[in-house]
Structure 1
C-alpha cells in the first residue's frame, strides 16, 4: 500500500483518540523481574558454545588463581623463611608463566562474552523492532515515538552492558567462589568456618537494598523514555514552538521531566551505592579476624604456619573479591532488568493478526460496502454510529463533513488500521476480516494530506509505492504526477537525498512525490485525503488533471475539505457526528437544501475549507 506517513499518524491528521486522551506518560505496569531474567537467559541459551568456552576460560583462571595463591604460601614457608634465593627465583619464573596463561584466558573470556553480548543485544533489538512493525496503530496512539526509541536504544544498551560485563563477572565469579571455597576448606576448615560467618551478612544486605532500589531504577528508565519522547516531539515541532513563543514553556516542561529523572536516578544510585562501603568494612573486619585467629593458632602450635595463614588470606581475598564485584554490579543489573521489562513489555503486546480463515487476494475489483458500522477509539465514546455507504467499481466517492465528524476514521477502517466494533465491511463481496491485512493494503493506495518522506533519495521515496519498480517506471510515475521537472532541477536529480521528512522541499513538492508514489503502486482502490491542499493554484490544476487520469477505472474515496474539488464525484457521502446524514451527487444534495448545501454555501460565503 502506498502510504506517506508512519504509524501513529498514517492518514494525515491524528487518527487516534482526542489529544487529551493520548497519554505519553504511561502508568507503570506490575514488575516481573524474574520473568525478565528468564527471557534474557533464553536469549543467551542460543549461544551455548560461546558460553561453554567462557566457562572453560573462567575455570582455567580459577585454577591458576588457586595454584598461584598456594605457591605464595609455599614460597613463604620454604624459600623466604629459609633464605633460599635460588629457589625463590625459580618459583618466581613458574608463577610468571602461570600468570601469563591467566592473562590469555581472561582476555579470551572477555572477548567471547563481549561478542556474545553484542549478538544477544542485536537479537533483542531485532525482535523488538520486528514486533513494533506488527503492532496495531492503536498502540502508537498512547506511546510516544521517543519512548519507543529509548527502548530500542537505551534499554537494549543497558542489557548489552550487563551481559558483556556482568555475565563475565558472574561466570568467573561463581567459579572463583566455588574454587576458592574448596581450596580454603582443604587448607584450613577451621579458618574457613570463621570466614564464612560474615558472608551471609553481605547477601542479606544486598537483597534488602535491591528490593528498595529496583522501583527507582524502573522509574528512571520510564522517565528517560518520557524525556526522549518530549525531546523528539519538541524538536519536530520547533516551528510551532517558535511561532507561538512557547520556548519558555518547553523549557519548563523539560525541566520538570529532567527533575523527575534526576530524583529517580539519585535515589536509585544513592541507595545502591551504600553496598560498596558496607561490603568493604565487612571484608576488612573478616581479614582482621582471620589474621588474629591464624596468629593465635600459630602461637598455640595448632598445625598452622605463617605460609598457611598467608595463603588463606589470599584465598579469602579471591573469595570475597568476586562477591564484591557481583554485588557492585547491582546498579547495572537493576537498570538492565528495568530496561528488559520495558523491552519485553513491547514484545509481548498483542500484534496485528489475520483471522484464521483470512485469505490472501491478488487483486481487488473495487466493490466496497460499509454496512451499519460502529466504532470508537475510546470505550463509550463512539466516533462512527451505524455508518452505511458503498462504492461500486470505478466510482469516486467523496466523504465530507465538519472536522471530527468521522471522515478519516472511515478510511482507517477500510485499511484496517483499526477494527470496527459493530457492523461489517465488504470488499468484492468478501467480508473484510477474511482478507489478509497485507494483501488488503497492497491493493489500496493512499495519498495523505500531510505526506511523509524518508531520509532517502527521491527515487527511493517514490519507489516505496512498489519496491520492485524499475527506474523507468519511477520516472514515468513522477511525470504523471507533474513532479519530473522539479526533480530534474534538484542538485542530484532523482538521486538527491532528502532531509528529515523532505525538509529541503516545499510542501507542494513533497505532495507531488507522495502522489507519484501512489501512481506507481497501481492499486485498484485509491484514497485521497485532500491530496492537493498543500499545492499552489497553478500546480493544483496540473495535479487535478493527473489525478483524473489516475482515478479512471479505480474505486476512489476522497476526503474533501474544499467542497469545490468534489463536485464531479459520482457520490458524495455527508457525515455529521459519526452518522451518515446525506448521500447523493453534488447537484442532488444542493437541490435538497440540506446539511451539505449548508456546508457548501457557508464555505463559499466565508471562503473557508472544512
Structure 2
C-alpha cells in the first residue's frame, strides 16, 4: 500500500482519465501530431543554421545563403502554427473532458443517500466539483501534452547532436544525468507537497463555506474573534503547504539553470579549442550546440514544472474518482411505477439507526388509512422526523417493512414514490431564484396559471402579489429576502402544485408572526383535505383536527388515539405533554 502511495505517476488512474478522451480522439491525435511537428521543426532550425555557417559564412561565400534564411523562416512559421494549434486544442480537449467528468460527478451526487451528506463537508464536495476539476483540465492543457512535447524535443535534439558531433554530445550527456537525478527528487517531494496543499485547500473551502452560511449565528453569539483565530490557523497551514512547493522550486530551478550554463561553458571551451587547434569541430557545430543545449535542458526544467501541474491534476483526479467510486445510493430495484396512491400507509415493526448500535426507531408499527390526517407528537429526538425520511426512502431501514397501499416501498421505483409524496419541512430551503421557479422547480408540467390558481386556493396569492415582481421576485440565496413564515408558505405551495397522493408536513411555527401563522393554518387545512397526511404537529389546532395522534418517545410509539381519547388516560404521556406544552397555547 505504501509503495502505491509513493508512486510518482499512477498509470491506472491515468487510464481511467483516458476513457473520457474517447469522444474526442480525433482532437487527441491532432494534438499529438502538432507535438511531433513542434519537436521536429525546433530541432531542424539549429541544423539549418550550422549548414549556413559552415557552407557560406565560414567561407565568406554569400551565394546560396538566402535559401537557408528562407528555410529557417519557414521552419519558424510552421513551429509557431504548431504551437498555436497545440495550445488551443490541448486546452479545448482538457475543458471538454472536465465538462464530461463534472457532469458525471454531479449526476452521481444527485443520487447519494442523505447519510452521505450527513457525514460529508459541503466545502469539500464543492472543492471536488469546482477546483479539483480545473486541476484535471490542466493535465491535458499544461501537463500531459506539454511533457510529451518536451520529451520528444529532447529525443530529437539528442539524435541531431549525436550525428553532428559525438564528442560535444558526450560533454552534454555527462551533465544531463545530474539534472535528471535532481528532477526525480524534485518530483517526489513536490507530489507530497501538492497532496498537502490540496488537503488544506479543501479544509479552507469547507471552513469558509460553513462560516459564511452561519454568519448570523457567529455574530449573535459574538464569536467573530474566535472564528478569526481559527481561520488564521487554517490559513497558516495552507500557506505552509504552498511555501513547501515554493521552497522546492527555489532549490531546483537555480540548479537546473546553473547546469545549463556550465554545460554551455564546457562545450564552448572544448569546441573552441577544437576549432582553433584541431579543426575537428566547425564554427557551425559550435553555434548549433549552443542553440541545442537550452533546447535540451530547458524542456527538462519545464518537464519538472509541468510535472507539478500533472501531479496536482492527478491528485485532484484521484479525489474526484474516489467520490465517483462511492456507492452510497438507495437501492432502486423496484419495478412498480406508482401513477397515484390511495394513501394507505403501514409501518410494520420498523427498526432504524443513523449510527450503528444507536437505535432511533425501535420496532415501531402504525397504520394510516387513505385520506386520514395523522399527527405525530413527542419530544425532540423521539424519532418524528425520521419517519418522514424513511417514508421517502432517504435512508434504508434496518428491519421491518414500510408499505403504501399494501406495496412494500422497496418495490416501487424511487422516482415514482417520491413524486407521489410531497414534503414540507420545518427548515425550508429556497434557491437563489424567482418564487415561480422555486415553486415549479423548472418542471414544465406545472404551468404559471396552475401555480397562481393553487396560490389562490390556499390563500397566499395576495401575499405573493404584494412582493416586487410578484411571482418573479428573486428571493436570493436560501430565500433570505423572505421571512421564515413566508418561506414556509412558499414551500406549502410547492408541495400543493404537485398534487401529491400523500402529504408529509413539519408545520413548526415557533418563529412565525401571527399573520403568517394564520395563513399557514389555512394552507394546512387546504392541502391536507382529502389526502393522506402525516404531520409532525407543533400546534394544538392541528393536533385536535387530526384523525389520529401518534405519541413517540425515544424511538418508540407510546400512545395512539384521538385527542379526546388520549386526554382520558391518567398519567398518560400525551396528557402530560398537553398539560405542560399545549395547554398554555389553548389558554392564550
The verdict on a shared fold, with TM-score over 0.5 as the criterion, is yes
Superposed CA offset, 1:137-158 (max 9, x none): 1111122222211222211112
**TM-score, normalised relative to structure 2:** 0.93
Task: Work out the CA distance in 2 between the residues paired with 1:569 and 1:269.
Answer: 67
Residue 355 of structure 1 deviates from its aligned partner by 4.3
Question: Where does 1:227-246 land on structure 2 (aligned, <5 Å)?
Answer: 227-246=204-223
The question of 1:154 aligning with 2:113 is answered no
1:492 equivalent among 446, 452, 469: 469
Which structure exhibits the higher relative contact order, with contacts defined as CA atoms closer than 8 Å and separated by 6 or more residues? 1
Task: Work out the CA distance in 1 between the residues paired with 2:96 and 2:179.
Answer: 33
The question of 1:508 aligning with 2:485 is answered yes
Change (3 A) 1:467 1:417: farther
1:188 equivalent among 165, 168, 173: 165
- What is the match of residue 574 of structure 2? 596
- What is the match of residue 191 of structure 2? 214
CA RMSD in angstroms comes to: 2.4
Aligned to 2:355, the other structure's residue is in SS state: coil
Question: Where does 1:329-408 land on structure 2 (aligned, <5 Å)?
Answer: 329-408=306-385
Residue 519 of structure 1 deviates from its aligned partner by 0.6
- What is the match of residue 43 of structure 1? 20
**TM-score, normalised relative to structure 1:** 0.89
Task: Work out the CA distance in 2 between the residues paired with 1:224 and 1:261.
Answer: 7
183-192 vs 572-581, which deviates more? Answer: 183-192
The runs of 5 or more residues in structure 2 that have no matched partner are none
- What is the match of residue 227 of structure 2? 250
On the 8 A contact 2:52/2:65 being kept in 1, the answer is yes
The runs of 5 or more residues in structure 1 that have no matched partner are 1-28
- What is the match of residue 476 of structure 1? 453
- What is the match of residue 569 of structure 1? 546
Task: Work out the CA distance in 1 between the residues paired with 2:211 and 2:519.
Answer: 36
Residue 90 of structure 1 deviates from its aligned partner by 4.5
On the 8 A contact 2:492/2:523 being kept in 1, the answer is no
Aligned to 2:357, the other structure's residue is in SS state: coil
Task: Work out the CA distance in 1 between the residues paired with 2:55 and 2:161.
Answer: 20
Task: Work out the CA distance in 1 between the residues paired with 2:419 and 2:173.
Answer: 68
On the 8 A contact 1:449/1:533 being kept in 2, the answer is no
- What is the match of residue 263 of structure 1? 240
Task: Work out the CA distance in 2 between the residues paired with 1:316 and 1:45.
Answer: 37
- What is the match of residue 266 of structure 2? 289
Superposed CA offset, 1:528-583 (max 9, x none): 11255554333433432332232122111101233442112111111111111111
Task: Work out the CA distance in 1 between the residues paired with 2:259 and 2:81.
Answer: 32
Residue 422 of structure 1 deviates from its aligned partner by 1.6
Superposed CA offset, 1:220-265 (max 9, x none): 2122122222212212222211111111112112112111211222
2:85 equivalent among 105, 108, 111: 108
Residue 190 of structure 1 deviates from its aligned partner by 4.0
The count of residues paired between Structure 1 and Structure 2 equals: 580
Task: Work out the CA distance in 1 between the residues paired with 2:429 and 2:33.
Answer: 53
The question of 1:81 aligning with 2:74 is answered no
On the 8 A contact 2:435/2:474 being kept in 1, the answer is yes
Task: Work out the CA distance in 2 between the residues paired with 1:553 and 1:30.
Answer: 61
- What is the match of residue 447 of structure 1? 424
Task: Work out the CA distance in 1 between the residues paired with 2:337 and 2:277.
Answer: 89
The question of 1:316 aligning with 2:293 is answered yes
- What is the match of residue 435 of structure 1? 412
Residue 100 of structure 1 deviates from its aligned partner by 1.7
The question of 1:170 aligning with 2:147 is answered yes
